Amino acid sequence: MQPILLVLAAGMGSRFGGLKQMAPVGPQGEWILDYSVLDASRAGFGKIVFVIRHEMEEEFRRLTEDKYSGTIELAYAFQEITDTPVSVPNIEQRQKPWGTGHAVYAARQHLDAPFAVINADDFYGAEAFQTLAKFLGDSSLQSEQQTYGLVGYRLSNTLSKHGTVSRGICEIADDHTLLSIEEHSEIGYRADETITAVNEAGEELTLSPDTLVSLNCWGFPLGWAAQLEPLFTTFLEGRGTEAKSEFYLPAAVDQLIKAGGSRTLALPCDSRWLGVTYREDLPSVRNAIAALCAEGAY
């Protein structure tokens, strides 16, 4: 059973100023997404499911089918505000869907094999996909309890010089088991070169540059998406009417870990992460990819 790659591409990139998934970064105008699709197909993934918004569908399908249809099987899922397991009061006042956990929930009908999750606008590197494919193909990991995989990255290698970012901050045991993951926002360098962030309680704290963070590069066993429904239901019942509340995928994983019966392994990966959070990030990303191409990686 070949694994599935689930690509979260519904965000329009408001801070970046446009559909940042389509920004050219390669020497021939390639998108970051082109490299992820190539790396995934080389690693043995058999299908890619794109999570998009309905208003993006016509153009997104045209662009992706022209590029990828001869390389790998494609499918499309739609992250819409109205796709919820329970009714939400005043839902018409909501401007955006409920984040990354909601995006995976939106693709649930397409996930008929073990699957990995990535962001469309992050460059994870070939090793990340090879590591995920190996993890998802190892059925022995699911023999005693459900096991998830997280490809983690060093915090200092994931920051932007042009503004703050949000990251899932990970606590890891000596055996590489993920103990907890908590979303932090407003992460960035301060004038004294320290890294500060704001946790979910609204508290500002200082983080080590070596802190392991999640960039939504996950591996999950077959059937895992069904576990999101009760978590998403509880979230909506408690916070569904908040204008900017988000159902984060790392937070959902953290809940399942703390409930027992499952575990997440931090998967070793030395690939370099590249991301375009702000338009000003583009030159450095282009330079890094040009170097990889010059080395023969692409």
pLDDT in tens, 113-133: 999 999 988 899 999 999 999
Higher pLDDT, 23 or 165: 165
Sequence letter at residue 213: V
The pTM of this model reads 0.88
Q: Which two tokens stand for residue 276?
A: 């375009």
CB 226 within 8 A of CB 152: no
Task: State the amino acid at position 11 in one-letter form.
Answer: G
Rounding to the nearest 10 degrees, give the CA dihedral for residues 81, 114, 176, 125: -80
Determine contact, residues 165/198, Cβ cutoff 8 Å. no
pLDDT above 60 for 71: yes
* Percent of the chain whose pLDDT exceeds 70: 96
pLDDT (0 to 100) of residue 12:
47
Q: What is the pLDDT of residue 137?
A: 93
- Nearest Cα residue to 188 out of 215, 226, 162, 227: 162
| Alpha carbon of residue 244 to chain centroid | 19
Tens-place pLDDT, residues 179-217: 888 889 999 999 889 999 999 899 999 999 989 998 889
pLDDT band (50, 70, 90) for residue 258 = confident
Q: Hey, where are the domains in the chain?
A: 4-294
CATH topology (fold) of 4-294 = Spore Coat Polysaccharide Biosynthesis Protein SpsA; Chain A (3.90.550)
Joined tokens for residue 264: 């997440």
The Cα–Cα gap between 61 and 226 comes to 26
Q: How confident is the model at residue 19 (pLDDT cuts 50, 70, 90)?
A: low
Count of CB atoms situated within 10 Å of the CB of 82: 10
User: For position 280, what pLDDT does the model report?
Assistant: 86
At 279 the pLDDT is 79
Cα of first residue to Cα of last residue in the chain, in angstroms, is 27
68: left (phi over 0), alpha (psi -120 to 50) or beta: alpha
Using alpha carbons, select from 120, 68, 125, 42 the residue that is nearest to residue 295. 125
Residues 6 or more apart from 208 whose CB is under 8 A from it?
155, 195
Q: pLDDT band at 16, cuts 50/70/90? A: very low
